[in-house]
Structure 1
Amino acid sequence: MEPGTDQCRLKLDFPDDQSMRVSHETIYQSLYVQGRGALNRELTACLRTGRALREPRARTRRSGRTFVTEEVKISSRPAEAADRSTAGHWEGDLIIGLEKSAIGTLVERRSRYTMRLHLPRMEAFGTTPYVKNGPPIAGHGADAVREAITAQIGTLPKHLRRSLTWDQGGEMAGHAQLTSDAGIAVFFCDPHSPWQRPSNENTNGLLRQYFPKGTDLTRWNATDVDAVAITLNCRPRKSLGWRTPAEVFTDQLQSITQAGVATTP
């Protein structure tokens, strides 16, 4: 059930009864009260996210990363990115699997078009002991993520790489170099605020159907991950008038290309 569905349905079923109103937060807290905030194991297995713990948003606030300055916070992001009126604004994140394996995802906000980031482990992984703050041998350090994003987005027309919104993970510590390399402005969500990247969060939820939690994501190579991205991009979406992300993104690309030809002397 989508968040808010319960509230809307109660209003429809009981339009004149104000006592039949409830906040979704109240429902969540009543569910998670068992076991001092944890669901019974059998109930956890029924959840789409598989998440056994939940905290209210207000409890998850913290100061954030030192590399996130005021000018790159989401509050400084252009308004056109928020209302999805303009193409070229992206959201990104990592899906983390067993033993620090990872797959990166990029989602274009207007078309919901998905690109993947291939992040293979370094050769030293498995032979070198893990060292805190040591070399990013798991494959999703700042340099690896920056290079993967640049490879995917850097070749797009300028008007399709306006901004990228990410969470405050350490893999984006090199965001200034990414802006220079790929020509895309980077903005960061507030700490523990995944709802500020709704398209990417929804896409990652869909991807978990193919790459379940607790599995080693290196089991799938780049071709496998691309095949899943193609599947999602060819899936009709209600938010797009039942068109597919691939169709909408292709139209955006063609429109920009034609506009460039029309303005060329």
Structure 2
Amino acid sequence: MVTLKEYFTKDFPTAMSLDFNLQLIHDLSKEILVRVGMEAYSDSKFLIFYIPGNEHTLQVCLELLNNIDDFLARSNTIKVTSGFISDIHLGNVGSDFAAFSNKVYFYLDNNLNPTDLVHLDGIAKSKNLAITIRDNTYLTKKSEVEKPLAFISHDSRDKKQVALPIAIGLQRLLCPVWYDEFSLQVGDNLRESIEKGIKETKKCVLIISKNFISNSGWTKTEFDSVFTKEIIEKSNVILPVWVDVSPAEVYDYSPSLANKMALNWSQGEEKVINELYRAIAFDKAQ
């Protein structure tokens, strides 16, 4: 499961930032992570803090708020002028003149109690700050939203023409999917990541093509894992999409697969994506 610290690291992906660490006074074994971010087009700065679990979370928040000017001053060591390469800049532009947006984000491993929140709200108003708290509730909700609902299994030769359009189409319908280009990162263990994706998703979209059928490597391994998942869970997991294959070809590959109601890519990209979305998002077993 993704941690709050990881969300601190990966949230705001389009912002330029300066990151540094501070020692947590009340616990010298832990460090506060500080990020001064700058929105590329508005040239406005904001602050993000990750505070690890401790017994003095409110006091740490207050101390950080009292040192906002120091954190912003540190960001002046980076000289950045945003925009396109051919832009003509006039006047006071660039990070040296970037205004503080008064936005502060706290990523807190320990949730603040209602009394602490009221106190922090008063401080925020007195300092004209807009504070956003992201705690374990944020972690839970964010994980739920990002949890893939379907695994997309395909041969790499079908990636550009079929797999990628399906993955993008489902994502646009707010149906998150496990798709290698979206879900794998450099250094990931391929087998473990794929098995985890298959186990955690409700449905598995199999893009059945001549390429898929002839592939005795990863796609065969994925198919075996998906088929096993369907047997163990005793539910309809597999959503086949046929791409230029005949019933006989599919039967030769797997009689059980040939017996499943399938979508055909010849029906058109939009039709296939919409039907997959309905089968995934409105699955009665969920």
Please tell me the TM-score bracket, short chain as reference: under 0.3
Give the structure-2-normalised TM-score: 0.22
Structure number with higher strand proportion: 2
Give the structure-1-normalised TM-score: 0.23
User: Which structure has more RCO (C-alpha within 8 Å, separation ≥ 6)?
Assistant: 1
